[in-house]
Amino acid sequence: MKYYSRRLVKHEHLNPAGSLFGGQLLSWIDEEAAIFAGCQMKSRSHVTKLISEINFMTPAKLGDVIEFGLELISTGHTSITVRCEVRNKQTLAPIVSIDKMVFVNVNEAGLPVPHGATANAA
């Protein structure tokens, strides 16, 4: 798995318990994974179809730098499936893992269309 980008956990990202809000993290993951999927499929027009079980393993805290790992799992006709792991950049502690995120290439009408990707392009 390759780690692509990093984010700093700031005050505005915290939940009342003082750790990174899960919804904020999922928003970042969806964006990071969608860009990764776009690079794989050479597409600027794709949607998130499915996100599998999300395992929040350890909390991220104020001032932590976290990094996003993404890996191509499989390639279909109109879709690709990727795996995501987020970890603490300094300690390498795993923060969250998602085994399966499916992205579908769509046309102007929002209907699935073949993407033609066959290999890792990110």
Ligand X SMILES: CCCCCCCCCCCCCCCC(=O)SCCNC(=O)CCNC(=O)[C@H](O)C(C)(C)COP(=O)(O)OP(=O)(O)OC[C@H]1O[C@@H](n2cnc3c(N)ncnc32)[C@H](O)[C@@H]1OP(=O)(O)O
Binding site for ligand X (CB under 6 A): 30, 34-35, 38-39, 42, 44, 47-50, 76-79, 102, 104, 106, 110, 112
Smallest distance from ligand X to CB 13, Å: 19
3-state secondary structure at position 118: coil
User: What residues have CB less than 8 Å from 109, skipping those under 6 apart?
Assistant: none
Nearer to ligand X by C-beta: 64 or 80?
80
Smallest distance from ligand X to CB 82, Å: 12
Distance of CA 90 to the CA centre of its chain: 20
Smallest distance from ligand X to CB 37, Å: 8
Neighbours of 109 (CB within 10 A): 6
